[in-house]
C-alpha cells in the first residue's frame, strides 16, 4: 500500500452567515488506505458531516471548501470539473446517509432508485441522457428486463432483502427502517465504488437493527474491497468497527490514530473525557462523568485550542495555534495529537497538570507554527505524511482488520 | 350536494325582490300578480316549495325558467360550450405558466429570475380576471385584427376561429389562477430542494437537471395538485365575470341574468351544476393525486 486511496490535506470549509464566517471544518488532514475503515467521531455539530460533504463537493453555494488537496486515487477532486465530479459521486465514492426515512425518494420504486445508479456508473449500455431518463420515469417506467433493473434486484438480494423481485417494485414507505437502510446500502454499492462514506448510518435506527446494518456495511465493504469512512458519534461503534479513528471537536481533529491506541492510551484531554463518559456495565458510579461546558461558537472562531475552556489541564500555551504532535512508541499506527501538552519541552506532572512553561517550549512551538504557516504546506506535510507509514514495519491492514472485525462482529 | 341545494334555495329566496312583480312591472294589477304567483307556485309556504323542488330534482327535473318557460337544463346546455372552453383553456394556460416559472424561481431563488416571476405572479393574484380581460381587449384585441374582442365562435365552425375567440378570455381567467399555482409550485419546490433524497440523488452523480426533474418534480407537484383543485373556484368565478366583459353568452351571463330577474329555478339549477362540476373536478384531482403520490392508495390494498 504505497499511496492511500483518499488523502485529504488541510481541508477547511466555511460558511458565510449573517453573524460572520462560520468555520465548520478547520484545517483537517487524514488519509484512508485501501480496504481500511476510518472512523470520524465527535459530538453533534463538530463538523463530521460537513467533512464528508466537502470531500464529495456536495455543499451548495453557501459553503466554501478550501484544501491543499483532496487526492482520491491519485487525482485531486478539487481540480475536477462538475461533470467529472459526477462520475466520482456514486461511482467511485458513494454515500450512506443518516436517515433512511428521508434519504430515499418517496415517489420512486426502490428498484429504480438503485437501477439508476447502475445505469449511470455501471457498464450496462443503457442510455442515461436527460430525456431517456425522463421518459423512463414518467412514460415507460423502468423495464423489468433491463440489465440495470436485474442488477438492482441482485443487489437487494446481496444486502439481505427477502423477495427482492417483489420488493424492487415497492416504494420506500412500504419498507421498515432497517430494510430501507439496506436499500440505501444496495444503492451505495450499485456504482461499484472504492470508498463508501457512511454518515451516521445507524443513528436513526433501532438499537436492535444497528448491529445488523453495521455488519452489513462492513462485511460487504470487506467482500468487495471497499474502504469506508464511517462518521458517528458513538464510540462503541468506532471501537467495534474501525481500523483508525479521528476524534473531531469543534471543527478540528484533536487526535488521530489506531483504534486500540486511542482507546487504550488517549493523549488528548477531550478523548479522555469522551472515553470516561461511556457508561460501563461493571460501573458502580452513581453519576456518569460528563465534560463540563459547551462547544464553542464556530462563528469567527479564535485561534488556539477550541477545547481549552472546558479542559481541566488548560495552560498558557493553549491559546496558541495548534500543531500536530506525534506520540512515540505507538505500536500500531502513527498516533497524532493536537494538544500543546505534548510539546517535548513541557513537563506534565502526575496529575496531568502543568506548572510552568519553559521558554524552550514556546520557542519550539513558534518554530513549528512558523513552518506550518499558510503558503508553506511543507511543514504540515512533514509531520503528517507519516500517518500512513507503518510504525511496526508494515503489518498489512486488510487481512488483519478483516479478522479483527470478524471477531468483533461475533460479539454482537 | 344536498347542503348546496338547500343553501342555494334559501339564499335565493332571501334576496329581496319578487319575480312576479318584476315580470309584470311596478304598477301591475294586484289580481294579476296573485294569479301569476299562483301559477308559479310562489304563494305556497317556503318549505312546501323546497320539498317540491327537491322531489323533482331527484328525478332529474331541474324545473323550468320562470321567465321563458324553457327547461333549465336545456338553457344550460345551450350556453355550456363557451364556458367549458374558456375554463379548460384557462387552466391549461395557468399550468403552462405556473409549473415552469415556479420551478425556475425556486431554483434561482433570490436571483433576478425569481424576482421577475414572483412579481408577475403577484400581479396575477392581485388583478381580478375581468380587469385583466379589459386590459387585454384594450392592448391586444384592439391592435391585433385576427383576435376578436367580442363574442364566441363554436368549435364546429373551425378550430382556429374557436381558439382565437377564447384565447383572450381564457388568458384573463388563467392568469390569476396561474399566479396562485406558481407561488405554490415555488414554495413546494423550495421545500423539496432541501429534502434529503435530493442530496442522495446528487450523491449518486446525477446531473442537476435530472435531480430536479426526475427526483424533484413529482414530489413538488403533490401539494400543487391538491391546491389546484381547491382553487378551481378562482377559475369558475373568473369565467362568470369574464363572459360579461367579452360579451360571450355562457353560463356566467346566464347566471347573472337569471339573478337579476329573480328567476329562481334557473339560478338554482345553474349554481347546482357549477357546484357539481366543482365537486367532480375535485374527485378528478383526488384520483390524479393517488397517481403521483404512491403513499396514498384508496380502497385498501393488501
C-alpha cell read off for B253:
351571463
The model's pLDDT over A155-200, given as tens digits with 9 standing for 90+, comes to 999 999 999 999 999 999 999 988 999 999 999 999 999 999 999 8
Residues of chain A contacting B203 with CB distance shorter than 8 Å:
56, 58, 89-90, 94-95, 97
The per-residue pLDDT for A399 is 39
| A82 shares a domain with A229 | yes
Cβ distance of A107 and B209 shorter than 8 Å:
no
Q: Smallest Cα–Cα separation from B19: which of B271, B214, B266, B188? A: B266
The per-residue pLDDT for A373 is 63
Give the N- to C-terminal CA distance of chain A in Å, as an integer.
Answer: 31
Asked if residue A286 has pLDDT above 90, the reply is: no
Domain that holds residue A16: 1-105+192-303+377-412
Domain-embedded: residue A156: yes
Interface mutation target, options A105, A106, A135, chain B, most CBs of B under 10 Å: A105
Domain-embedded: residue A320: no
Q: Which are the contacts of B238, defined by CB distance < 8 A and separation ≥ 6?
A: B90, B128, B129, B130, B172, B173, B176, B177
Asked if residue A408 has pLDDT above 60, the reply is: no
Q: Which residue of B has its CA nearest to A53?
A: B203
Interface mutation target, options A62, A106, A136, A186, chain B, most CBs of B under 10 Å: A106
The model's pLDDT over A144-163, given as tens digits with 9 standing for 90+, comes to 888 999 999 999 999 999 99
DSSP code, position A139? I
| A156 shares a domain with A69 | no
| A78 shares a domain with A142 | no
Task: Measure CB to CB from residue A120 to each of B204, B213, B292 and give the nearest one.
Answer: B204
DSSP code, position A381? H
Domain-embedded: residue A349: no
The per-residue pLDDT for A376 is 43
Q: CA B149 to CA B168: how far, in whole Å?
A: 8
Asked if residue A393 has pLDDT above 60, the reply is: no
Domain-embedded: residue A350: no
The model's pLDDT over A213-240, given as tens digits with 9 standing for 90+, comes to 888 888 998 899 999 999 998 888 898 8
Asked if residue A377 has pLDDT above 60, the reply is: no
Average pLDDT over residues A6-14: 91
The nearest CA of chain B is from the CA of A175 a distance in Å of: 12
Number of domains in chain A: 2
Angle between helices A110-121 and A177-189 (to 10 degrees): 10
| A234 shares a domain with A158 | no
Domain-embedded: residue A331: no
| A268 shares a domain with A411 | yes
Residues of chain A contacting B220 with CB distance shorter than 8 Å:
none
Average pLDDT over residues A49-67: 87
| A156 shares a domain with A55 | no
Residues of chain B contacting A116 with CB distance shorter than 8 Å:
204, 206, 214
Domain-embedded: residue A259: yes
| A135 shares a domain with A64 | no
| A142 shares a domain with A258 | no
Q: What is the pTM of this model?
A: 0.79
Q: CA A36 to CA A28: how far, in whole Å?
A: 19
Tens of pLDDT, residue by residue, chain B (302 residues): 778 778 888 887 777 777 777 777 767 778 887 887 777 777 778 888 888 888 888 887 777 777 777 888 888 888 888 888 888 899 999 999 999 999 999 998 888 989 999 999 898 888 888 888 889 888 888 888 888 878 888 888 888 888 888 888 899 999 999 999 999 999 999 999 999 999 999 999 999 899 999 999 999 999 998 888 888 888 888 888 888 888 888 888 888 888 888 888 888 888 888 888 888 888 888 888 888 888 876 554 43
User: In sequence order, which ranges of chain B are alpha helices (DSSP H)?
Assistant: 2-14, 19-24, 30-40, 46-58, 72-107, 112-126, 129-136, 159-193, 196-203, 208-210, 217-230, 232-245, 251-260, 264-292
| A74 shares a domain with A115 | no
The per-residue pLDDT for A409 is 37
| A158 shares a domain with A26 | no
C-alpha cell read off for B245:
366583459
| A93 shares a domain with A6 | yes
| A120 shares a domain with A96 | no
Which CATH number covers residue A242? Answer: 3.40.50.300
Average pLDDT over residues A254-265: 89
- Dihedrals phi, psi of A21, to nearest 5 degrees: -85, 125
Asked if residue A105 has pLDDT above 60, the reply is: yes
Check: CB of residue A269 under 8 Å from CB of residue A344.
no
Cβ distance of B200 and A86 shorter than 8 Å:
no
Domain-embedded: residue A75: yes
Domain-embedded: residue A260: yes
Amino acid at each position: 500500500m504505497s499511496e492511500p486511496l483518499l488523502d485529504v490535506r488541510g481541508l477547511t470549509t466555511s460558511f458565510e452567515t449573517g453573524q460572520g464566517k462560520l468555520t465548520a471544518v478547520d484545517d483537517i488532514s487524514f488519509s484512508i488506505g485501501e480496504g481500511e475503515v476510518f472512523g470520524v467521531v465527535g459530538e453533534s455539530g463538530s463538523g463530521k458531516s460537513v467533512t464528508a460533504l466537502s470531500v464529495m463537493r456536495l455543499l451548495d453555494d453557501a459553503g466554501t471548501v478550501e484544501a491543499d488537496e483532496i487526492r482520491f486515487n491519485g487525482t485531486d477532486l478539487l481540480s475536477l470539473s462538475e461533470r467529472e465530479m459526477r462520475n466520482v459521486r456514486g461511482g467511485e465514492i458513494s454515500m450512506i446517509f443518516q436517515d433512511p426515512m428521508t434519504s430515499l425518494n418517496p415517489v420512486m420504486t426502490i428498484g429504480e432508485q438503485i437501477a439508476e445508479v447502475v445505469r449511470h456508473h455501471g457498464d450496462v449500455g443503457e442510455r442515461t441522457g436527460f430525456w431517456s431518463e425522463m421518459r423512463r420515469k414518467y412514460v415507460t417506467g423502468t423495464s423489468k428486463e433491463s440489465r440495470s433493473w436485474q442488477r438492482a434486484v441482485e443487489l437487494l438480494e446481496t444486502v439481505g432483502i427477502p423477495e427482492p423481485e417483489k420488493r424492487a417494485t415497492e416504494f420506500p414507505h412500504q419498507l421498515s427502517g432497517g430494510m430501507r437502510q439496506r436499500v440505501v446500502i444496495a444503492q451505495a454499492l450499485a456504482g461499484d465504488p472504492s470508498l463508501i462514506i457512511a454518515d451516521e448510518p445507524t443513528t436513526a435506527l433501532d438499537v436492535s437493527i444497528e448491529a445488523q446494518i453495521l455488519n452489513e456495511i462492513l462485511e460487504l465493504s470487506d467482500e468487495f474491497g471497499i474502504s469506508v469512512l464511517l462518521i458517528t458519534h458513538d464510540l462503541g461503534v468506532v471501537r467495534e468497527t474501525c481500523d483508525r479513528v479521528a476524534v473531531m471537536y469543534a471543527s478540528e481533529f484533536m487526535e488521530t490514530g489506531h483504534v486500540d491506541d486511542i482507546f487504550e492510551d488517549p493523549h488528548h484531554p477531550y478523548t479522555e473525557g469522551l472515553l470516561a463518559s461511556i457508561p460501563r456495565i461493571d460501573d458502580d458510579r452513581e453519576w456518569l462523568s460528563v465534560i463540563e461546558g459547551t462547544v464553542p461558537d464556530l462563528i469567527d472562531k479564535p485561534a488556539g485550542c477550541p477545547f481549552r475552556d472546558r479542559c481541566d489541564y488548560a495552560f498558557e500555551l493553549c491559546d496558541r495555534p495548534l500543531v500536530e504532535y506525534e506520540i512515540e512508541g505507538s505500536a500500531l499506527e502513527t498516533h497524532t495529537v493536537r494538544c500543546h501538552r505534548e510539546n517535548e519541552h513541557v513537563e506534565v506532572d502526575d496529575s496531568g497538570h502543568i506548572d510552568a512553561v519553559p521558554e524552550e517550549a514556546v520557542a519550539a512551538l513558534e518554530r513549528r507554527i512558523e513552518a506550518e504557516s499558510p503558503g508553506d504546506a511543507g511543514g504540515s506535510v512533514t509531520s503528517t505524511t507519516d500517518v500512513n507509514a507503518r510504525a511496526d514495519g508494515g503489518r498489512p491492514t486488510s487481512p488483519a482488520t478483516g479478522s479483527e472485525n470478524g471477531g468483533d462482529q461475533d460479539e454482537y | 350536494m344536498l347542503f348546496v341545494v338547500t343553501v342555494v334555495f334559501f339564499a335565493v329566496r332571501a334576496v329581496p325582490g319578487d319575480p312576479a312583480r318584476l315580470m309584470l312591472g311596478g304598477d301591475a294589477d294586484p289580481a294579476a300578480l296573485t294569479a301569476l304567483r299562483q301559477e308559479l307556485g310562489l304563494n305556497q309556504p317556503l318549505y312546501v316549495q323546497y320539498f317540491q323542488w327537491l322531489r323533482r330534482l331527484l328525478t332529474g327535473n331541474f324545473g323550468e325558467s320562470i321567465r321563458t318557460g324553457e327547461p333549465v337544463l336545456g338553457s344550460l346546455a345551450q350556453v355550456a360550450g363557451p364556458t367549458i372552453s374558456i375554463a379548460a383553456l384557462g387552466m391549461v394556460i395557468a399550468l403552462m405558466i405556473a409549473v415552469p416559472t415556479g420551478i425556475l424561481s425556486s431554483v434561482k431563488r433570490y436571483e433576478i429570475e425569481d424576482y421577475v416571476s414572483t412579481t408577475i405572479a403577484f400581479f396575477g393574484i392581485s388583478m381580478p380576471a375581468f380587469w385583466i380581460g379589459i386590459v387585454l381587449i384594450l392592448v391586444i384585441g384592439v391592435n391585433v385584427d385576427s383576435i376578436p374582442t367580442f363574442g364566441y365562435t363554436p368549435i364546429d365552425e373551425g378550430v382556429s376561429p374557436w381558439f382565437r375567440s377564447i384565447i383572450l378570455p381564457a388568458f384573463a381567467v388563467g392568469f390569476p389562477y396561474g399566479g396562485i399555482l406558481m407561488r405554490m409550485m415555488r414554495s413546494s419546490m423550495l421545500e423539496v430542494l432541501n429534502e434529503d433524497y435530493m442530496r442522495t440523488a446528487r450523491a449518486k452523480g446525477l446531473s442537476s437537471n435530472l435531480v430536479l426533474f426526475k427526483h424533484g418534480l413529482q414530489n413538488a407537484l403533490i401539494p400543487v395538485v391538491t391546491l389546484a383543485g381547491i382553487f378551481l373556484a378562482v377559475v369558475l368565478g373568473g369565467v362568470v365575470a369574464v363572459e360579461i366583459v367579452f360579451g360571450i353568452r355562457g353560463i356566467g351571463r346566464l347566471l347573472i341574468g337569471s339573478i337579476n330577474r329573480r328567476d329562481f329555478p334557473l339560478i338554482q339549477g345553474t349554481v347546482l351544476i357549477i357546484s357539481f362540476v366543482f365537486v367532480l373536478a375535485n374527485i378528478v384531482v383526488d384520483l390524479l393525486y393517488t397517481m403521483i403520490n404512491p403513499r396514498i392508495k384508496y380502497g385498501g390494498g393488501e
